[in-house]
C-alpha cells in the first residue's frame, strides 16, 4: 500500500509542478537575417500591462528584466549603445488570472456488500491481494499567469527580427525575480547567436 500511495502522491506533485515554474517558452525569428552582423543594442520603451497590482507594476521588475536581457545579449557579443544601436530590444509584460485542475488520489478500503473485505483483484500485471481502491479527486487552483514577450528589431529598418515568449505562474512574489531571470535565460537559448563563453 505504501508504494502505491507514494506513486499517487508523486503523480499529484508532478501535476502541480507545472503551475509553479516558468517552463513555457517559444521563439520565432527571421531566418534570412545574419544575426552576427549586429554588434550594439539599445532599449525601446517597454509595454507594461499588468493592471494596478503594485506587485507586478514596479520599476524594479522592469530593471531586473533589462538586467537579465542585457547579461544574455552581452554574452553574445552585443554592447549597449543608445546613440547608434544596431538593434532595438523591447519587451511587453502581461498578467491574467487563470485556473487549472489536477487529479489527486487517495486510497479507500473496499468491502463486499456483507462486510467482507475485497480480496484478490486483477491488476495489469496479474492478480494480487489488494483490498483498496482509489478515490479520484479533482482540485482546482487559482493562480496568476505572467507573460513576457521580448522583441528584437533592426534599428535601421525597424523590422522585428526575433521574438521570444515566456509564460508561467507568477503568483509567488518572492520567486518573481528568480523565475523571470530563469525564463529569460531559457528563451535566449534559442537566439540565433550562441554565447561567446559557451
Average pLDDT, the chain: 79
* 110: pLDDT strictly greater than 70: no
**Percentage helix, strand, coil, to 5, in the chain?**
25, 40, 35
pLDDT in tens, 98-107: 877 766 666 6
* 194: pLDDT strictly greater than 50: yes
CATH code (residue 94): 3.30.160.670
* 114: pLDDT strictly greater than 50: no
pLDDT in tens, 123-158: 455 544 445 555 667 778 788 888 999 999 999 999
Length of the chain, please? 198
* Domain count across the chain: 1
| Diameter over CA atoms, the chain | 86
Pairing between β-strand 47-49 and β-strand 120-123 as defined by DSSP bridges = unpaired
For 83, the 3-state DSSP assignment is: coil
* 40: pLDDT strictly greater than 70: yes
Give the H or E element holding residue 144: strand 132-154
| Residue 50 is assigned to a structural domain of this protein | yes
For the segment 22-40, the average pLDDT, to the nearest whole number, is 92
pLDDT for res 198: 57
What residues pair up with 153 in beta bridges, in sequence order? 88, 160
Range of the domain at 55: 22-100+142-188
| Residue 11 is assigned to a structural domain of this protein | no
| Residue 40 is assigned to a structural domain of this protein | yes
pTM above 0.85, yes or no: no
Say which DSSP state 13 is in. Answer: H
Task: Residue 15: name the closest of 108, 141, 106, 175 by CA.
Answer: 141
For 37, the 3-state DSSP assignment is: helix
CB 9 within 8 A of CB 148: no
| Residue 8 is assigned to a structural domain of this protein | no
* 120: pLDDT strictly greater than 50: no
| Residue 46 is assigned to a structural domain of this protein | yes
CB atoms within 10 A of CB 168: 23
| Residue 58 is assigned to a structural domain of this protein | yes
Which residues make Cβ contacts (< 8 Å) with residue 143, sequence separation at least 6? 19, 97, 98, 99, 100, 169, 171
| Residue 133 is assigned to a structural domain of this protein | no
Comparison of pLDDT for 59 and 150, the residue scoring more: 150
pLDDT for res 56: 82
Amino acid at each position: 500500500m505504501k508504494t502505491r500511495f507514494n506513486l499517487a502522491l508523486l503523480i499529484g506533485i508532478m501535476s502541480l509542478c507545472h503551475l509553479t515554474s516558468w517552463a513555457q517558452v517559444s521563439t520565432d525569428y527571421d531566418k534570412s537575417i545574419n544575426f552576427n552582423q549586429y554588434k550594439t543594442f539599445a532599449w525601446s520603451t517597454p509595454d507594461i500591462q499588468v493592471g494596478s497590482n503594485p506587485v507586478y507594476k514596479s520599476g524594479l521588475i522592469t530593471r531586473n528584466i533589462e538586467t537579465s536581457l542585457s547579461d544574455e545579449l552581452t554574452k553574445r557579443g552585443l554592447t549597449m549603445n543608445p546613440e547608434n544601436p544596431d538593434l532595438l530590444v523591447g519587451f511587453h509584460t502581461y498578467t491574467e488570472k487563470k485556473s487549472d485542475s489536477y487529479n489527486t488520489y487517495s486510497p479507500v478500503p473496499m468491502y463486499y456488500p456483507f462486510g467482507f473485505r475485497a480480496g484478490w483483484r486483477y491488476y495489469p500485471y496479474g492478480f494480487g491481494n489488494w483490498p483498496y481502491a482509489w478515490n479520484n479527486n479533482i482540485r482546482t487552483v487559482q493562480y496568476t499567469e505572467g507573460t513576457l514577450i521580448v522583441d528584437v528589431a533592426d534599428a535601421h529598418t525597424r523590422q522585428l527580427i526575433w521574438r521570444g515568449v515566456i509564460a508561467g505562474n507568477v503568483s509567488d512574489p518572492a520567486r518573481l525575480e528568480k523565475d523571470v531571470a530563469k525564463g529569460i535565460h531559457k528563451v535566449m537559448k534559442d537566439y540565433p547567436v550562441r554565447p561567446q563563453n559557451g
